[in-house]
Structure 1
Amino acid sequence: MPVVPESSTTSVDEVEVAANDYDAFGEAYAVENETSLVNAHYTLPAMLDLAGDVAGRKVLDAGCGSGPLFAALRDRGADVSGFDASTTMVGLARRRLGADADLRVADLADPLPFPDGAFDDVVSALVLHYLEDWTAPLAELRRVLKPGGRLIIAVNHPGVYKLMFPGADYFATTLWSDEHTFNGRQAVLANWHRPLHAMTDAFTAAGFRTAVIGEPPPGPRARELFPEEFVDREAFLCFLFFVLEAA
């Protein structure tokens, strides 16, 4: 269950130590998300729709996890590289993608092991909301993009935080955590909420122009596979998607 920011007795440091340990629960997370509604049938198709025709483009998957987005972009003709902070997740990605895939263990909070202007596009699905400060990560993503290149990202929708915690301050950047069960394995994810204007301000400060802010519908098979989720609705609030252009 979610930890309410105002009433939680867990400190920020304690939450950060306990949460987001993909080396511990990464394999269960990867199995769960191969077929899950929000990952396989919402985030993945939305990211691919935003990326469009990537044939011949050099693409960096920042926070590649076990590699489903990397694989899908490569299948569409992109020349893809990827990295993740978790050795477990990179190992799973290599198992999926093959020994010749360009995969690295690297942390978005640190300088990235890629030269300036190396990529036409960077994709980053469900990564930035783990970070309190976006300044250095966005600067690195801008650095590795060619001028005019695109950064395509998905993050937690800030409106969902206010729905979950009606008494919380929407305008404050706040750490909150949520308990999950992935393929029978217990896990805690800790996320930094930030209001929409803080996101777009950070993009602008990093040298990006916001081209698209999206709240896409689920993928084409979602209603068929998860009918209970669509009894009284056609779509749902979950993540917010952006296409940013490098100035």
Structure 2
Amino acid sequence: MPSVSESSERSADEAVVNDYNTFGEAYTAETETSLINAYYTRPAILDLAGDVAGRQVLDAGCGAGPLFAQLRDRGATVTGFDASTKMVELARQRLGEDAALQVADIAEPLPFAAGAFDDVVVSLVLHYLEDWTAPLAELHRVLKPGGRLILAVNHPIIYKMVHPEGSYFAIEKWSEEYTFSGQKAVLTYWHRPLHAMTDAFTAAGFRTAVVSEPYPAPGARERFPETFGDKQAFLCFLFFVLEAE
């Protein structure tokens, strides 16, 4: 997920949509130390994961591997995959040739055994998909009974803030243009209301244990004072911890 939006909506023809093979390096450079990614999303995911020492963790949609690296540093045995060959290449450069990485698509059957993982982390991935049914079923399959799915998605309120003419209660497609390290890119998302998210979790066999709207990490306000102004926090993503039943 990008750090800063540049326009409410542009034609998808102006740039390649969701093509991380094209803008992956620029995206990685932009988000390495950004407010939204480095001081908000990744710290929130790590806080929700807690003590992962000795746990088998799947980083689904691992991108260039920053979360993989942090989970591994905390003692987890981490496996990662991404649909973008460029992002997996960048992750391997970061993590080393022996890192358990591969190209795979979360919208397709996953190349992992049933019950292989204690935890699955899915950070800023599911909101690219119109249908969550098959992906959630696969994530449930690869988790051990009682295992955790820790995820972050676009907060459903954002769509209505950006597109007040849209329907909050519908599943609707929308696009946003960004600039990553000087390179323009278009990302296309699927908005879904909160009840559609939780209904999908339940249908896939998950129990919702935590719903979180976290504060940014310590130091964020000092590093990005022009963004915060007189605010202490902001809404951007919605975070969940789900337990596989």
Q: TM-score range by the shorter chain?
A: over 0.9
4+ runs deviating over 6 angstroms: none
For 1:174 and 1:2, how far apart are their aligned partners in 2? 15
For residues 125-178 of structure 1, what are the alpha-carbon distances to aligned partners after superposition, in whole Å with 9 as ceiling and x for unaligned?
A: 000000000000000000000000000000000001111111211001001000
Q: CA deviation at 1:228?
A: 1.0
Residues 173-184 of structure 1: matches in 2 within 5 Å? 173-184=171-182
For 2:222 and 2:230, how far apart are their aligned partners in 1? 14
Partner of 1:146: 144
- 1:2–1:176 Cα contact (<8 Å) kept: no
Matched residue pairs, number?
238
Residues 123-134 of structure 1: matches in 2 within 5 Å? 123-134=121-132
Partner of 2:30: 32
Name which of 76, 79, 87 aligns with 1:78.
Answer: 76
Structure 2 residues not aligned, in runs of 5+: 1-6
For 2:162 and 2:66, how far apart are their aligned partners in 1? 29
Partner of 1:49: 47
State the secondary structure of the residue aligned to 1:18.
coil
State the secondary structure of the residue aligned to 1:177.
strand
For 2:128 and 2:16, how far apart are their aligned partners in 1? 13
State the secondary structure of the residue aligned to 1:232.
coil
Partner of 1:233: 231
For 2:19 and 2:38, how far apart are their aligned partners in 1? 21
For 2:178 and 2:162, how far apart are their aligned partners in 1? 15
Partner of 2:208: 210
For 1:68 and 1:217, how far apart are their aligned partners in 2? 20
Name which of 189, 196, 199 aligns with 1:198.
Answer: 196
For 1:76 and 1:214, how far apart are their aligned partners in 2? 22
For 2:219 and 2:111, how far apart are their aligned partners in 1? 38
* RMSD value, Cα: 1.1
Taking only the aligned residue pairs, the percentage that are identical comes to 72
State the secondary structure of the residue aligned to 1:124.
strand
Moved more, 221-230 or 81-90: 221-230
For 1:230 and 1:109, how far apart are their aligned partners in 2? 36
Q: CA deviation at 1:2?
A: 2.2
- 2:168–2:192 Cα contact (<8 Å) kept: yes
Opposite residue 103 of structure 1, the aligned amino acid is: L
Structure 2 residue 8 is matched with structure 1 residue 2: yes
